[in-house]
Amino acid sequence: MDTNSLEQIRERSQSFLQDRFGMFIHWGLYAIPSRGEWVRSLEKMTLEDYQVYFDEFNPIEYDPRSWAKAAKNAGMKYAVLTAKHHDGFCLFDSELTDYKSTNTKASRDLVREFIDAFRAEGLKVGLYYSLLDWHHPDYPAYEDKFHPMRDNPEFKREKSQISRYVDYMHGQVRELLTNYGKIDIMFFDFAYEEMIGETWKSTELTKMIRSLQPHIIINSRLESSGEETGSIYTKEPTFYSGDYASPEQMIPPGGVMNENGESIPWEANITLNNNWGYVASDRTYKSAKTIIRKLVECVSKNGNLLLNVGPDAKGKIPQESLTILTEVGEWLSRNGESIYGCGDASLPKPEWGRYTRNGDRLYAHVFEECIGAINMPELAGHVKHGRLLSDGSEVSVFRPWNTTMYPNDAFVSLDKPEHHTYPLPDKRDTVIQLTLKK
């Protein structure tokens, strides 16, 4: 009997959860039409329509070392690249298909170069692999919910054909996990309707993955999608439940719990603008301040943040994205101690921001300016001392004269006199490190 339990899941994802912050990279032929990675499906394009992008693909400026440096400088600890997205185009030199980057003008194994470059920067590497495949001749097409040819009866396929696709998919996963050294993360995408669980031969697949890469962690989407569900949320996760939930474009209210109310490993994946793949006209970028605060929010709820970039057709990460990443990295270089290895503080959310915690170190992330001292409910007598995390300077843990009504609370002031109001030194997030008494 193939078993799985929350203990095993937690054990496997332990180091992943220390890392807290990673880079998601959506890149493929769809960077050329620049209308998102779903363009073929949304516009019901035929393979021939889409072929022009295959014929043209030539990312002369692809330099994964510069991507890796950007990720590292942003304070990210790992990265996940789309080895194959729903369009079926492979960024690696698969022996099982001709539909791959080595057969384009690029003539390069883009996955190999990605892995080598990110490893060289000391980052962990993960691969996104789409379960959907709009190129493979045996993948359900006519009447499939998402396939570009869903309305075209000429694409009617036998139900049994899917097994040939599943063999192909297993074969490609084997290639990815055999030919490129250690892989830390496998990100499948995604299950829907009857295309779920054992349709993908998930027990067999998971066994193979774990035998090839014993340390790997796998996301939950062999039986779920970005909407989330899946047996990882239940009392009895299946063998192929995956090791972490992957909610998409949202940070789950209250974090992620299973049916027993126990916190389970999770990672929110979020775009920097409003698209995964490159869309030149999409300038709806989130600010560095928003990203910093959302990263804090994930960590305060025991989760990771996988933040997406969508490189363009030439292989460049958009400048807007790089600028935001640089600023986030600058903040993390001073305040990373409050993020990496940290988690939920087991305290109610304070009015002015959020807490994160690592053992006896409590981090107060102050987003909002307070009048007078900063109030910390129920912490009176528990704080040994406080420091501004960014520069190590002392902050006073005091009892200002006007707080007698709140005997159970601690109060922290950024300067003296302690009842005065002081502007926050970092408007994005001022972090106060509090050492708690044992």
Binding mask 182-211 for ligand GLC (x = CB under 6 A): -------xx---------------------
Q: Identify the H or E element spanning 330.
A: helix 319-335
**Block residue for tokens 């025991």:** 302
**Block residue for tokens 């709806």:** 284
Residue (189 or 418) nearer to ligand GLC, CB: 189
Query: CB of 392: closest distance to ligand GLC in angstroms?
Result: 39
Residue (87 or 429) nearer to ligand GLC, CB: 87
Tell which positions 139-158 bind ligand GLC, by CB under 6 A. Answer: none
Q: How far apart are CA 304 and CA 343, in angstroms?
A: 10
Query: CB of 402: closest distance to ligand GLC in angstroms?
Result: 49
Report DSSP letters for 258-276, one per residue.
Answer: -TTS-B--EEEEEESSS-S
Q: Which amino acid is at 70?
A: A
Query: Which residue among 203, 225, 229, 290 contacts ligand GLC (CB under 6 A)?
Result: 225
Residue (270 or 299) nearer to ligand GLC, CB: 270
Query: CB of 271: closest distance to ligand GLC in angstroms?
Result: 8
| Number of residues counted as binding ligand GLC (CB under 6 A) | 10
Other beta carbons less than 10 A from residue 160's beta carbon:
8
Q: How far apart are CA 256 and CA 106, in angstroms?
A: 41
Kindly state whether residue 226 participates in binding ligand GLC, applying the rule CB under 6 A.
yes
Kindly state whether residue 58 participates in binding ligand GLC, applying the rule CB under 6 A.
no
Residues near 266 by beta carbon (within 8 Å), at least 6 away in sequence:
244, 245, 246, 247, 252, 255, 256, 302, 303, 304
**Block residue for tokens 């974090």:** 255
Query: CB of 189: closest distance to ligand GLC in angstroms?
Result: 5
Query: CB of 331: closest distance to ligand GLC in angstroms?
Result: 25
Query: Which residue among 121, 248, 337, 409 contacts ligand GLC (CB under 6 A)?
Result: 248
Residue (54 or 188) nearer to ligand GLC, CB: 188
**Block residue for tokens 């791959």:** 100
Other beta carbons less than 10 A from residue 164's beta carbon:
14
Kindly state whether residue 168 participates in binding ligand GLC, applying the rule CB under 6 A.
no
Query: CB of 226: closest distance to ligand GLC in angstroms?
Result: 5
Query: Which residue among 101, 269, 302, 358 contacts ligand GLC (CB under 6 A)?
Result: 269
Query: CB of 1: closest distance to ligand GLC in angstroms?
Result: 31
How many residues are recorded in the chain?
438
Report DSSP letters for 202-224, one per residue.
Answer: HHHHHHHHHHH-TT-EEBSTTS-
**Block residue for tokens 């007078």:** 372
**Block residue for tokens 């039409």:** 33
Contact 93/115 with Cβ under 8 angstroms?
no
Kindly state whether residue 37 participates in binding ligand GLC, applying the rule CB under 6 A.
yes
Query: CB of 354: closest distance to ligand GLC in angstroms?
Result: 24
Query: CB of 98: closest distance to ligand GLC in angstroms?
Result: 23
Kindly state whether residue 233 participates in binding ligand GLC, applying the rule CB under 6 A.
no
Quote the tokens at residue 115: 């892995």
Quote the tokens at residue 379: 């912490």
Query: CB of 225: closest distance to ligand GLC in angstroms?
Result: 6
Residue (89 or 276) nearer to ligand GLC, CB: 276
**Block residue for tokens 């990815």:** 176
The separation between the first and the last C-alpha atoms of the chain, rounded to the nearest angstrom, is 44
Residue (24 or 155) nearer to ligand GLC, CB: 24
Residue (269 or 413) nearer to ligand GLC, CB: 269
Of 229, 223, 218, 286, residue with least CA distance to 252: 229
Kindly state whether residue 276 participates in binding ligand GLC, applying the rule CB under 6 A.
yes
Do the strands 394-398 and 383-388 form a parallel or antiparallel pair, or are they unpaired?
A: antiparallel
Residue (226 or 400) nearer to ligand GLC, CB: 226
Kindly state whether residue 252 participates in binding ligand GLC, applying the rule CB under 6 A.
no
Contact 89/98 with Cβ under 8 angstroms?
no
Catalog residues that contact ligand GLC under the rule CB under 6 A: 26, 37-38, 189-190, 225-226, 248, 269, 276
